[in-house]
């Protein structure tokens, strides 16, 4: 595994390359306090067959966090710029939460660059509106994000010590956040692991405007839906998937038992095996059509 900063779309983005040979597979992480390190357990399952890589979304992880520029157009342009920078014509996109939401919009906007789309509890249900994930209004959501408390630490060592005590007992995701200790300067001094409010508000503004029903009529690649079994709105998601799938020539839905919204730390093997099976089936079907 190698990490390096790349210049893409006028911004420095942190790229993580897990392997260098095979069909390209881009992994896109959940939002908020998470970054590409969430894939550290699942990426090894694909390294022998795929060129696996990830990048920290703008405003996340070790990528830069400009004060402006968090629209969906900007986010999908970042993916395009990364692919172009790496000389990749087409890729499999695997996303969880925000990463999959953005990947879905990219697949709709640039279908010619897609090999497949794998959505891990993402790209299914709109955040607000009819059949939305939450009942709050956009104004309420943005106000809440603007007023969210930002924890501040004097140093990385202080963060590790305090977070370890405050979050005990540590679940795998919390432990990974502490291990990687990706911190940014807080507005009034010190360091914090959360997005600053001005960035978080813009990200949530984008999230509130997402409308997945407009995406799938434009998507031409095979799609794997993986809704989380233990999350709210599960039944609604299954109904929405039925509607999305009507626009697709090839799709599959897999539900991993006991799965949660971010399952990459405790069910990496189950998810990797399901994704591998899907891609094997897709390749077999494509081979049969070509004969």
- DSSP annotation of 88 reads -
Q: Model-level pTM greater than 0.85?
A: yes
pLDDT in tens, the chain (291 residues): 899 999 988 999 999 999 999 999 999 999 999 999 999 999 999 999 999 999 999 999 999 999 899 999 999 999 999 999 999 999 999 999 999 999 999 999 999 999 999 999 999 999 999 889 999 999 999 999 999 999 999 999 999 999 999 999 999 999 999 999 999 999 889 999 999 999 999 999 999 999 999 999 999 999 999 999 999 999 999 999 999 999 999 999 999 999 999 999 999 999 999 999 999 999 988 878 776
Buried b (16+ CB within 10 A) or exposed e, 133-171: beeeeeeebbeebeeeebebbeeeeebeeebeeeeeeee
pLDDT at 250 (0 to 100): 96
Q: Which domains does the chain have, with CATH numbers?
A: 2-131+211-290 (3.40.50.1820)
Longest dimension (CA), the chain: 64
How many other CB atoms sit within 10 Å of the CB of residue 181? 14
pLDDT at 276 (0 to 100): 98
**223-226 and 114-120 as β-strands: parallel, antiparallel, unpaired?**
parallel
pLDDT at 291 (0 to 100): 67
pLDDT at 290 (0 to 100): 73
pLDDT at 288 (0 to 100): 80
- List CB contacts of 83: < 8 A, sequence separation 6 or more: 24, 26, 89, 91, 113
Helix (H) or strand (E) holding 16: strand 11-17
Write the Ramachandran bin of 15: left for phi over 0, alpha for psi from -120 to 50, otherwise beta.
Answer: beta
Write the Ramachandran bin of 143: left for phi over 0, alpha for psi from -120 to 50, otherwise beta.
Answer: alpha
- DSSP annotation of 181 reads -
pLDDT at 286 (0 to 100): 82
């Amino acid at each position: 595994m190698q990490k390096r900063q790349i210049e893409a779309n006028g911004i420095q983005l942190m790229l993580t390359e897990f392997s260098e040979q095979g069909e390209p597979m881009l992994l896109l992480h959940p939002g908020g306090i998470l970054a590409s390190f969430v894939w550290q357990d699942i990426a090894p399952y694909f390294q022998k067959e795929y060129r696996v890589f990830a990048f920290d979304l703008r405003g996340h992880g070790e990528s830069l966090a400009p004060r402006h520029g968090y629209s969906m157009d900007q986010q999908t342009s970042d993916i395009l710029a990364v692919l172009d920078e790496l000389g990749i014509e087409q890729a499999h996109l695997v996303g969880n939460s925000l990463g999959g939401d953005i990947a879905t919009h990219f697949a709709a906007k640039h279908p010619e660059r897609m090999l497949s789309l794998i959505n891990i509890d993402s790209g299914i249900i709109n955040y607000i509106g009819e059949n939305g994930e939450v009942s709050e209004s956009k104004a309420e959501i943005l106000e809440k994000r603007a007023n969210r408390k930002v924890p501040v630490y004097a140093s990385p060592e202080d963060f590790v010590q305090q977070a370890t005590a405050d979050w005990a007992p540590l679940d795998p995701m919390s432990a990974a956040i502490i291990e990687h200790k990706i911190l940014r300067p807080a507005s009034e001094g010190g360091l914090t692991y959360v997005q600053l409010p001005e960035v978080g508000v813009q990200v949530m503004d984008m999230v509130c405007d997402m409308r997945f029903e407009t995406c799938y009529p434009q998507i031409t690649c095979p799609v794997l839906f993986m809704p989380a079994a233990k999350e709210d709105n599960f039944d609604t998601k299954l109904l929405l998937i039925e509607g999305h799938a009507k626009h697709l020539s090839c799709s599959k839905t897999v539900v991993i038992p006991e799965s949660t919204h971010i399952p990459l730390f405790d069910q990496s093997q189950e998810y990797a095996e399901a994704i591998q099976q899907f891609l094997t089936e897709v390749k077999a079907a494509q081979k049969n059509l070509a004969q």
